[in-house]
Amino acid sequence: MNFLLLLKLTFKSILNRRFTSCLTLLSICISVFLLLGVDTVRKEAKHSFTNTISGTDLLVGARSGSVQLLLYSVFRIGNATNNIGWDSYEKISSHPSVAWSIPISLGDSHKGFRVMGTTQAYFEHYRFADDQALEFKIGKPFSGVYDTVIGAEVAENLGYQLGDELMLAHGVYDTDFARHDDKPFVVTGILERTGTPVDRTIHVSLQGIEALHIDWKTGTRSREKVSAKQALDLDLQPKQITAFMLGLNSKMEIFRVQRAINNYKREPMLAVLPGLALGELWQLIGVAEKALFIIAVFVLLNSFVGLLTVILTSLNERRREIAILRSLGCRPNQIFILLASESLLFAIVGCFLGVFLFLVAIVLSQPVLQGYGLHIPLSSFGFEQLVLIAIVIGVSFLIGSIPGYRAYKQSLADGMSIKL
Amino acid sequence: MNTKTALLKVENLRFRWLSSQRDVMDIPELSIQKGERVFIKGESGAGKTTLLSLLGGINLPDSGLINILGTDISQLKQSRRDQFRADHIGFVFQLFNLIPYLSVIENITLACEFSSRRKAKALSKSKTLEDEAYRLLSHLQLQDRRLLTKPVSELSVGQQQRVAAARALIGSPELIIADEPTSALDADTREHFLNLLLSECEYSGSTVLFVSHDRGLEHAFDRSILLNELNKADSRSKDQQQGDML
């Protein structure tokens, strides 16, 4: 008597209960898919999150919290509490340990997208993901005062092309009375998609920011208007910036420079390591990711309970069948295998379908996910996922041994008598 | 009676259920010759099924000897007992003999899957197991080939019992044990089924142990035994115990 016969019997028995079997299988398949999906999305989300900024050794802003600094300077969320004087920036960026620096000036917006004033250094030194530089889909960095380079999502959402003009607004809310409508900016470049907040940013030169605000005092427009043309002749040297990024000559110097900035006497400033601040921020929002995973695990457990219910219910109807098999010489331990293999078979087929569904979903959803800055390659089904599947199958065997053991016991107790 | 020609020999058999205080089976002696057709008569609750479970090696006696074909099956390990049953005994039950999710042919040949001995025997008679199953079915007057692939639930009770008989007979086991196989059939089919079963057993040389409460069938057998006389255990207490069990 071989194992194959038992497997054949199990298979035919399941086939005989097609409808409930299909539903059970569907529930396992969906749970496995959900588990894999949540696991992958959370890993990729974390990955993409930590990939937002790379290559920058220190992030410097007015003294506040490190998470807040990270939020406004890198994620463009919220506002800075204070600005930094240009002289402090110049002083620090000319420090011998500093290789490069990118000044950032925030505060304006355009139709919901943040405007960031910076310099050419930004296009040269800013890195994201695994040391990837910004690339232009079309056009080139800004050179004139009223030039602008827009992120991929800005271009896509607002339909801007090279040469289009756009009006920036003062503050985060784009309202009529706060619009810098006398000084239109021209799109000179559109960046490739990065999957980071860069996609949602409108980049202009620091001089552009200065020109916009030259006739603004304390948040409103002053009476003496300065036209776009007139502004070009004025001194557009910025006096303040919001934050800046530093690249150092040697990683060994990070902490020394950080300490120097934090102890800078003339202005209270805060320097943080982007990686550490990202980790801190992820601890805050990573709870949601953990909760999702736990829910997925429970959904899977739930479908196993469903599977167990289905098999145990069928066990009562199958007492007769078991007695017949016993009379034909089937051993009690074979009866055990017969019942235990059922849930194993469900789990294996369910996992197979779940993985298949998962891979199909990856392929289909890739364009959509990319929009959220998530890049999930097919290769994200790897060793860890296989371990997850192995655990699922292992658990299903443990669960299957419950009806298996009951049937084993029953077959010994019932003997030849078949209860109707 | 000569032990050498006895196919089945029971001596001093005693059996009680685990939870019970008294014996339900107490059989000092029972001997069945090879090729004999024996009718065991017992009312319901007389312990028919218990006796058959013991003879089939599904339950073990507490004491005594059950010798089938020269082997004391009560001395065998459980897995050997199961194999012995698969090789040498064919069972036919009262009702619902068939596995619902297997076809007629699969139900019959299943007996050979559990016993390579019966498989070899079946193959010595026909080219394939399917042919042998079909040969048996036509002997039992189920010639319609279309039936073979039908789900067993679409068969009439009489047809189902004949399929069950074919399964018990395939591979010519030495002993056929039938537990009230005719009680679900009407009077005409009953006689018909019995004749088919007995003649096929005779043809393959199998010994028949037929258990029933129906005296009307007695005439077709070589010998008739009353279970109440065979079993010395007090039947009244036995009934009570069965009541306790259920």
- pLDDT tens for residues A285-332? 888 888 888 988 898 888 888 888 888 888 887 888 888 888 888 888
- CB–CB of A416 and B111 under 8 A? no
User: Out of A320, A327, A420, whose CB is closest to B91?
Assistant: A327
- CB–CB of B96 and A320 under 8 A? yes
Residues of chain A whose beta carbon is less than 8 angstroms from a beta carbon of chain B are 1, 5, 9, 12-13, 15-16, 320-321, 324-333, 415-418, 420
Query: Is the pLDDT score of B78 beyond 90?
Result: no
DSSP for residue A160: -
Q: Which helix (H) or strand (E) holds B32?
A: strand B25-33
Judging contacts by C-beta atoms under 8 Å, the chain A residues touching residue B150 are: none
Residue A400 structure tokens: 């299957």
Query: Which pLDDT value is given to residue B12?
Result: 83
Query: Is the pLDDT score of B237 beyond 80?
Result: no
Residue that wins the pLDDT comparison between A45 and B206:
B206
- The domain locations on chain B are 3-245
Q: For residue B214, give the nearest of B94, B56, B35 by alpha carbon.
A: B94
- CB–CB of A324 and B93 under 8 A? yes
CB B28 within 8 A of CB B11: yes
Dihedral of alpha carbons B245, B100, A326, B67, sign: positive
Q: Is B184 at the interface with chain A, CB within 8 A?
A: no
Backbone phi and psi for residue B44, each to the nearest 5 degrees, phi listed first? -65, 135
- CB–CB of B114 and A329 under 8 A? yes
Query: Is the pLDDT score of A1 beyond 60?
Result: no
Judging contacts by C-beta atoms under 8 Å, the chain A residues touching residue B115 are: 329
- CB–CB of B101 and A324 under 8 A? no
Backbone phi and psi for residue B110, each to the nearest 5 degrees, phi listed first? -55, -35
Q: How far is A327 from chain B (nearest CA, A)?
A: 7
Q: Which helix (H) or strand (E) holds A379?
A: none
Residue that wins the pLDDT comparison between B189 and A270:
A270
- The highest-level CATH class for domain B3-245 is alpha beta
Backbone phi and psi for residue A95, each to the nearest 5 degrees, phi listed first? -60, 140
Average pLDDT over residues B21-50: 82
Question: pTM of the entire structure?
Answer: 0.73
User: Out of B49, B97, B111, whose CB is closest to A417?
Assistant: B49
Q: For residue A36, give the nearest of A389, A288, A369, A335 by alpha carbon.
A: A389
Size of interface A-B (CB pairs under 8 A): 70
Dihedral of alpha carbons A223, A224, A228, A233, sign: negative
Judging contacts by C-beta atoms under 8 Å, the chain A residues touching residue B95 are: 420
Query: Which pLDDT value is given to residue B1?
Result: 44
Query: Which pLDDT value is given to residue B242?
Result: 53
Q: Which residue of B has its CA nearest to A415?
A: B58
User: Out of B79, B110, B179, whose CB is closest to A328?
Assistant: B110
Strand A147-150 to strand A185-191: parallel, antiparallel, or no bridges (unpaired)?
parallel
Query: Is the pLDDT score of B4 beyond 60?
Result: no
The CA-based angle A276-A67-A130, given to 5 degrees, is: 45
CB A29 within 8 A of CB A350: yes
User: Out of A1, A15, A416, whose CB is closest to B114?
Assistant: A1
Q: How far is A21 from chain B (nearest CA, A)?
A: 14
Q: How far is A354 from chain B (nearest CA, A)?
A: 27
Query: Is the pLDDT score of A419 beyond 60?
Result: no
Q: For residue A273, give the nearest of A294, A251, A290 by alpha carbon.
A: A251
CB A139 within 8 A of CB A159: no
CB A418 within 8 A of CB A323: yes
Amino acid identity of B128? Answer: T
The residues with which A241 forms a beta bridge, in sequence order, are A84
Average pLDDT over residues A342-352: 90
User: Out of B79, B86, B100, whose CB is closest to A328?
Assistant: B86
Q: Is B130 at the interface with chain A, CB within 8 A?
A: no
Terminal Cα distance for chain A, rounded: 28
* Average pLDDT over all residues of chain A: 87
Judging contacts by C-beta atoms under 8 Å, the chain B residues touching residue A12 are: 101-102, 106
The model's confidence at residue A372, banded by pLDDT at 50, 70 and 90, is low
Distance CA B94, CA B164 (A): 10
The model's confidence at residue A174, banded by pLDDT at 50, 70 and 90, is low
**Cβ burial, residue A252 (10 Å; 0-12/13-18/19+):** exposed
- CB–CB of B99 and A325 under 8 A? yes
Query: Which pLDDT value is given to residue A268?
Result: 92
ipTM entry: 0.85
Work out the angle between the directed axes of helices A18-50 and A274-317 (0-180°, nearest 10).
170
Give the DSSP per-residue string, A86-143: HHHHHHHHTSTTEEEEEEEEEEEEETTEEEEEE-THHHHH-EETTTEEP-EEEE----
- CB–CB of A16 and B95 under 8 A? no
Judging contacts by C-beta atoms under 8 Å, the chain B residues touching residue A7 are: none
- CB–CB of A329 and B115 under 8 A? yes
CB A180 within 8 A of CB A228: no
Query: Is the pLDDT score of B245 beyond 60?
Result: no
CB A176 within 8 A of CB A137: no
